[in-house]
Amino acid sequence: MRNILLFDLDQTILNRNESLIRFISWQVNFFQLVPQELKDVFIKKFIELDDNGNVWKDIVYSQLIKDFNIKKFTVDELLNSYITDFNKFSIGFDDVQKVISDLYQKGYKIGLVSNGKSPFQEHNFYALGLTEYFSTIIVSEAIGLRKPDKKIFAYACNQLNCTPSDCIFIGDNPKADIEGAKNVGMKTIFFHPNKILKKSNTDESINHYDELERAINGINNGGL
C-alpha cells in the first residue's frame, strides 16, 4: 500500500486563480490604483501578465504601471504588498480541509512539494490551516531544487523516510508534477478542476476533492 501522499500547492490545494482575483481586487481598492470602471480591465491584465504564476510580479507590476499610468506607487511598493498580503486571501479548493483531515486520521503521511518563492509559498500554505496534517513542507527556492528535477522528489522521500514506491503525488502540472513524480517511480493523481482540460498521462485523474480517496484506493487496489 502506498501510504505517503505528496501534494503540490498552487491549483492543487490552494485555489490560486480565485485567491489571486481576491487579492488583486483588494489591492486595487486599497491603493486606489485605477478608477473603479477600470478595475475589471486591470484584474484581467494582471492575470494575463501573470501567466499562471510563471512570471514573477516585478515584471507584472512594471507593465501594469506603464499600461495604466500609475504614478503614486513604485514596482517595489506593489511587489512588497503582494509578498506580504497575498496570503490573507489564500483559499483552498472545496472540501480540501475535510478530505486531507480524513486521510490524515486514516493513517496517511502527508507532505507538500511546491515550486515557488520562499517564504512566500509557505505563508500561502499556512493561511489554509492545514499545517498540522503535513509531516514536511518543501518549497523549491528554500532547498535549491525545482520540480520536475528528480532530486526534489528524492529530497521529499528522505524527509519522510520512505521510497518513491511508497508515494502517490497529487498535482495539477502535467510536466512538473505528473511527469516528474512518475520519473522517480511514484504513482500520480492529476487534479484538474476544469473538467474540459485534457487528461494527463497519469494513474488517476480527479476534478474535485470528493473524488480523491476513490482515486487513492484505485491505485492501491490496483497493486504496486
Task: Give tens-digit pLDDT for 48-98.
Answer: 999 999 899 999 999 999 999 999 999 999 999 999 999 999 999 999 999
Residue-by-residue DSSP string for the chain: ---EEEE--BTTTB-HHHHHHHHHHHHHHHHT-S-GGGHHHHHHHHHHHHTTTTS-HHHHHHHHHHHTT--S--HHHHHHHHHHHGGGG--BPTTHHHHHHHHHHTT-EEEEEE-S-TTHHHHHHHTTT-GGGEEEEEEHHHHT--TT-HHHHHHHHHHHT--GGGEEEEES-IIIIIIHHHTTT-EEEEE-S-TTSPPPSSSEEESSGGGHHHHHHHHHHT--
Task: Label residue 222 by pLDDT band (50, 70, 90).
Answer: confident
What is the average pLDDT score of the chain? 96
